Amino acid sequence: MKKLFSFLTILILSASVNLIAQDPDEILENYFEVIGQEKMLEFETFIYKGKIIQMGMELPMTMYQKRPAKARMEAEIQGAKIIQVYDGENGWSIIPMTGSMEPQDMGEDETKSMKQMADIDGDLYNWKKKGFDLTLIGEDDMEGTAVYKIKLVKPDGDEYIYYIDAENYVVLRVDSKIMMQGVQLETSSTFSNFKPVSGIVMPYSVEQEMNGQVVMQIVFDSVELDAEIPDSMFEKPSTK
């Protein structure tokens, strides 16, 4: 009986070790296949239209992405349009609520966020070339769904934990620890309502939490691929 117990213990420990020792690239390979990463690389531009739900308000929004690293976000609030842009090197914005319609340079933290948005393929793709560290933490249960937990750390110390569905291989949630204005913020983004678009699978709903409370939801109504987006949309308007 003692030998049987010892044998079972060894089996359990071995299974745990094998789980942790799995190559995260194998998981990512399945993930990229499911979401259609190779197909995504064929498209140069993406236009997302939908709404931001925040503090009981629904704000129409449009997000533009253009390779290699440009992004523009527009949102309407009380008849005014907020514009945030990353032109591939710098960020700028127009926020009428500040009392000015002049474009303003973004701070370092805002620019960092827009730069991340401009990465169409996401942090997980080519993570080694981007200089990130990535490890497989293990397997967990997320509201009844088995998930792989993968931790990604950027050179600046920002950390992200990806919860990848162990059966369907889509990212269900990302927990983040990022520095903003000298303070570490912990946020979570939950992804749902996955739909195929021209061979690519993407979430149409993103819910963001901070300190366990939902602070914002983004719902996409449509996604347009390879539409013409002129570079001028990302250029900072002259104030002369």
**Among 80, 67, 117, CA closest to 226:** 67
Q: What is the pLDDT of residues 140-198, one digit of tens each?
A: 999 999 999 999 999 999 999 999 999 999 999 999 999 888 888 899 999 999 999 99
| CATH number where 148 lies | 2.50.20.10
User: CB of 63 within 8 A of CB of 71?
Assistant: yes
Looking at the domain assignment, is residue 6 inside a domain? no
Q: What is the pLDDT of residues 208-232, one digit of tens each?
A: 998 888 999 999 999 999 999 999 9
Looking at the domain assignment, is residue 9 inside a domain? no
- The boundaries of the domain holding residue 189 are 25-234
Looking at the domain assignment, is residue 8 inside a domain? no
- Determine the pLDDT at residue 209: 94
Looking at the domain assignment, is residue 124 inside a domain? yes
Looking at the domain assignment, is residue 240 inside a domain? no
Q: What is the pLDDT of residues 37-86, one digit of tens each?
A: 999 999 999 999 999 999 889 999 999 999 999 999 999 988 899 999 99
Looking at the domain assignment, is residue 96 inside a domain? yes
Counted domains in the chain = 1
Radius of gyration of the chain (CA): 21
